[in-house]
Amino acid sequence: MPTYAYRCRECTETFEVNRPMSESAAPATCPEGHADTVKLLTTVALTGAAGAPATGGCCGGACGCAN
Ligand SMILES: [Zn+2]
């Protein structure tokens, strides 16, 4: 199940919620009980789709360049 990050505009708390993708747009309540929250970038979408490999070298080792 994807993890979605939200930030509360009342207490500025950032929190994460595990919920189905179909409910990603649904309102989330912060741990303090505030309903005025905004959805942040999805952490799941960022991992694995960030483009360049995190490791060094020209290709992260995929081309055999010994980096
Ligand atoms: Zn709050």
Residue-wise pLDDT tens digits, 16-56: 999 998 988 888 999 999 999 999 876 555 554 445 455 55
Task: Report pLDDT for 41.
Answer: 72
Task: Report pLDDT for 49.
Answer: 46
Name the band, by pLDDT with cuts 50, 70 and 90, for residue 15.
Answer: very high
Q: How far is the CA of 47 from the centre of ligand 1 (A)?
A: 27
Query: Which residues, at least 6 apart from 23, have a Cβ–Cβ distance to it below 8 Å?
Result: none
Under the phi-then-psi rule, with left for phi > 0, alpha for psi from -120 to 50, and beta for the rest, what region is 23?
alpha
More confident residue, 10 or 24: 10
Cβ neighbours of 33 (radius 10 Å)? 9
Single-letter amino acid, residue 51: G
Q: How far is the CA of 44 from the centre of ligand 1 (A)?
A: 23
Single-letter amino acid, residue 2: P
C-alpha dist (Å) from residue 13 to 36, 42, 45, 58: 11, 16, 21, 39
Task: Report pLDDT for 42.
Answer: 64
Instruction: Give residue limits of the domains in the chain.
Output: 3-44
